[in-house]
Structure 1
Amino acid sequence: MAFSLGSTLTIPRLLVAAGFFCVCIIVGLFTSSFFRILPSIGMIGLLVTGVSCFAMHGQHYNRADRSYYWPFMLIFLLHIGGGLITIDGHMKEYTRDVLLQLPYLALPIGFWLLPPFPTRYLKRLWLTLLGTTVLAALLSTGNYLQHFDQINEMYLHSKVMPTEPDHIRFSLLITLAVVTGVCLLAHRNVLGWGNRLIWMSVGFLVFYQHLLAVRSGLVTLYAAGGLALLWLVFRRRQYLQALLLAGCLVLVPTISYSVFPTLQNKSANTREDVGRVTHTASANNYSLVGRVYSYKIALEILQNNPWFGVGRADIESEMAAYYQKRYPNIRPSAYIQPHNQFLFSAVAFGLVGLIVFIVGFYYAGISVWPRYAPLLLTQYVILTLSFLVEYTLETQIGLGFALFFLLLALEGQKVTAKPETTWRPV
């Protein structure tokens, strides 16, 4: 029976299934409001495919180094351990958090047990990201043009145009998609009409990022551009290309600011937001002000619970108690959790937990260094910058985006049985 099943579910067929489930995850990031379960289907399917492939054919291929994958599971254990200090009334929230963190098990195990994806599969998966992002951006642009004045006005009130997924995660996806397109072009993985289509897609997404005018997206985009500039100057010695890129990094924002009302209004709103930081009541209406006070409260909680924190499930109630005590003129509806992943983790799990989180999350990137891995490096840069202003990993879409594309980039590090003639996206 096992032999018959193995002869039917061959490695190539299982890799096709794994690729399909990866597509489910990528597309699912853009369908969270109307098909929320799709990323979960992809993650479960990838795990089942990996386990099945190893059970039936594990003796026929070598798995990747487990040090790339196992450290991520430490973060899941960290959330499990949070139950030890969770109060009885918050056990439902604790259970919800543990379920949310299951990708830390499913995705690393699934990728680790699978044999290497062929390079053409990796290329198609990254192109799926690029194509899906372009489609979502086109739909968003169409909606913007239909509600031009209304959406422009929203940007003066700390709001942005509707997107799928939410504007912060979407802006990060745009940056990663732009870098993906540039890498595929630079390594000549796509030729002919596909090459021209990628050029147009990258150009469109760069300008759309400015139209969307989300601070996280713009910062990550220019950080990626800065890294590319340093690479061209110091590693490749391609000074002409570096000069052209530097010109683009100056010209594109200049043109965008003169053309897009959203970027102009977002800039004005940001300046006003910063100017109100000293006024506590402004936290009720201004996002940056609210974040500043959430940081102050989080640091005070951390001072009182330095080693093991208050538990992930208890953060909301602890923050609310401190808000009421320290800043009574901030309305309960404006209470927010600390918009910083490192600070959030420290409050939840203490300094001990923060160290475990940093080791678990960054160990794979440290292990790969200094090998050439532009997509992996870019994803780590994007996530690290987003961690400074968001608790990125505390939502289903944020965690799925972060973990899946790190592991997909790591897939390019696997050694294939047959030598590849083209660059493996990594």
Structure 2
Amino acid sequence: MNEGIKKLLGPPTYQFIGVLALLFILVGLVVSSAMMSMGVIGLAIVWVLNPDVKKNIQTLLKHPVFWSIVLLFLVWGISGLWSENTDYWANRMRMRLPFLLMPAGLLAIPKFDRSVYYPLLYIFYFLLSAICLYLFAWYLLHFSEMTLAYKKGQVLPTPVMHIRFSLMVAYCVAIGITFLQEKWTWRYKWERAVQFFITGFLIVFLHVLAVRSGLVALYGVLFYFLIREIILRRRWWFGIITTLLLVGGMATAYLTIPSLQNKIDYTLYNIYNIRHDNNRTELSDSHRVGTIQAGLAMGNEAPFLGVGIGDIRDETEVYLKANYPGVAGSGFTPQSQYVWQYAGVGWFGLLVFIVVTFLPLFYKKGWQYALLGSFLAIAIPSFIIEQTLETQLGTAIYLTFLLMAARFYLTGGLSDQKENDRGAFAPDVGN
């Protein structure tokens, strides 16, 4: 290979393409699914362009958090052997291609220290905050209309699916808290005041938005930072006082924010009627209860290998027609990622999924790293109450923030924090 080609296909090129690909994904999360796809392709290109295939594979196998993601993709792929609906299986596998492409692509980026990682998160943080400010203003302008809508179980319109959007806002709270704790700014000291204001605003906004998954994620983040502070710094009195403040804040929010109060009341109404079998097919949570019951029934019928991910939708439809006819016909699948896993690939696949999703918490004590632990405090509960990975957006959220944090904290990015005078996004060729 001549010197010109070596220079073209060297670390500076990989660095530029890799960072640009991540930027495309982060912006695409709230703007365009096409941008997300382009970003994933960009990460794949970073890996493919590197001619040292052996070294690429060795690097991947060296990091369990990354190769376990690929293993999960293979488990889903193997289930095609006992799936009758191969078209649906192929559709699910196509959507899951990022599980195969993103781990190797992120590892192939030459430099991923704080000077690269934090600015990327900062851009996302401000982008999402600007959208939330607009939505909050819109809510105030349509206050009466939205208050009535929340009484019927509806929510504030968001640019992408409201559940996934609320998870991203909760993670932006985690980003803001991390930056404030570490006193990190991109350029100016006054940015800390802006970070404080925006992070506080996002906490208030999540209560106004009143999406249950988002609130679970928010309090998961807040309690994560609280527990982390107690364990790492032994600040027990701080923990007790903060816990009381959080509980008091939750009560105050319920009493003072109409959209939150109406959402909680409607949820309690749903729970009461489902438990007493009152019009259960007409309630907004009927599909969740029905599909989870369907998933458990599927898993119990084929406990070791499941029914195959290609047949989950068809089998769910059969169960709903028999037990929840009012919500049948909508193409639902189990509304819990863990139950979905049990139904599709049985105990074997569920065990693999549990290990893969909890591994980053314990590998190299990943729980103690703020942006990794806080994201898992969002992701793992969401897998219990949502089928988070069954949409392109949910998959992108999970893989992007998990793998970026793992790349930074668990593969050596954290160990080199010296400022590089070649710029925040310049490659560290010496690494």
Q: Give me the TM-score of the superposition, normalised by structure 2.
A: 0.88
1:219 corresponding residue in structure 2: 216
Q: In the alignment, residue 108 of structure 2 is paired with which amino acid? A: L
Structure 1 segments of 4 or more deviating over 6 A? 61-64
Matching residue within 337, 340, 353 for 1:341: 337
1:319 corresponding residue in structure 2: 316
Secondary structure of the structure 2 residue equivalent to 1:163: coil
TM alignment of 1:22-421, pairs within 5 A: 22-31=22-31, 35-53=32-50, 55=52, 65-87=62-84, 90-190=85-185, 192-238=189-235, 241-242=238-239, 245-246=242-243, 248-280=245-277, 282-328=279-325, 330-333=326-329, 336-369=332-365, 372-413=368-409, 414-415=411-412, 419-421=416-418
CA contact (8 A) 1:66 1:112 kept: no
Secondary structure of the structure 2 residue equivalent to 1:338: coil
2:426 corresponding residue in structure 1: none
C-alpha separation between the residues in 1 aligned to 2:123 and 2:272?
42
C-alpha separation between the residues in 2 aligned to 1:127 and 1:163?
21
CA contact (8 A) 1:72 1:108 kept: yes
Q: Deviations over 1:71-106 (max 9, x none)?
A: 10111112211211121xx32212111110000011
Q: Give me the TM-score of the superposition, normalised by structure 1.
A: 0.89
Against the structure 1 CA distance between its residues 79 and 412, is the aligned structure 2 distance closer, same or farther, given a 3 Å change threshold? Answer: same
Task: Please say which of residues 199-208 and 140-149 is displaced more in the overlay.
Answer: 140-149
Secondary structure of the structure 1 residue equivalent to 2:274: coil
Against the structure 1 CA distance between its residues 418 and 327, is the aligned structure 2 distance closer, same or farther, given a 3 Å change threshold? Answer: closer
Q: In the alignment, residue 196 of structure 1 is paired with which amino acid? A: A
Coordinate RMSD, CA, aligned: 2.7
Q: In the alignment, residue 173 of structure 1 is paired with which amino acid? A: M
C-alpha separation between the residues in 1 aligned to 2:236 and 2:350?
41
Task: Please say which of residues 252-261 and 150-159 is displaced more in the overlay.
Answer: 252-261
Q: In the alignment, residue 228 of structure 1 is paired with which amino acid? A: F
Q: In the alignment, residue 153 of structure 1 is paired with which amino acid? A: L
Secondary structure of the structure 1 residue equivalent to 2:296: helix
Task: Please say which of residues 1-10 and 218-227 is displaced more in the overlay.
Answer: 1-10
Residue 5 (structure 1) aligned with residue 1 (structure 2): no
Secondary structure of the structure 2 residue equivalent to 1:69: helix
CA shift for structure 1 position 55: 4.2
Q: How many pairs align?
A: 415
Q: In the alignment, residue 266 of structure 2 is paired with which amino acid? A: N
Secondary structure of the structure 2 residue equivalent to 1:96: helix
C-alpha separation between the residues in 2 aligned to 1:62 and 1:96?
30
C-alpha separation between the residues in 2 aligned to 1:107 and 1:23?
14
Against the structure 1 CA distance between its residues 104 and 62, is the aligned structure 2 distance closer, same or farther, given a 3 Å change threshold? Answer: closer
CA contact (8 A) 2:270 2:285 kept: yes
Against the structure 1 CA distance between its residues 379 and 419, is the aligned structure 2 distance closer, same or farther, given a 3 Å change threshold? Answer: closer
CA contact (8 A) 2:83 2:311 kept: yes
Task: Please say which of residues 92-101 and 9-18 is displaced more in the overlay.
Answer: 9-18
C-alpha separation between the residues in 2 aligned to 1:247 and 1:358?
32
Gaps of 5+ in 1: none
C-alpha separation between the residues in 2 aligned to 1:24 and 1:277?
42
Secondary structure of the structure 1 residue equivalent to 2:303: coil
C-alpha separation between the residues in 2 aligned to 1:222 and 1:371?
16
1:19 corresponding residue in structure 2: 19
CA contact (8 A) 1:63 1:112 kept: yes
Gaps of 5+ in 2: 420-431
Q: Deviations over 1:14-56 (max 9, x none)?
A: 313311111110111102xxx3211010011012123324649
CA contact (8 A) 2:44 2:104 kept: yes
CA shift for structure 1 position 243: 5.9
Secondary structure of the structure 2 residue equivalent to 1:306: coil
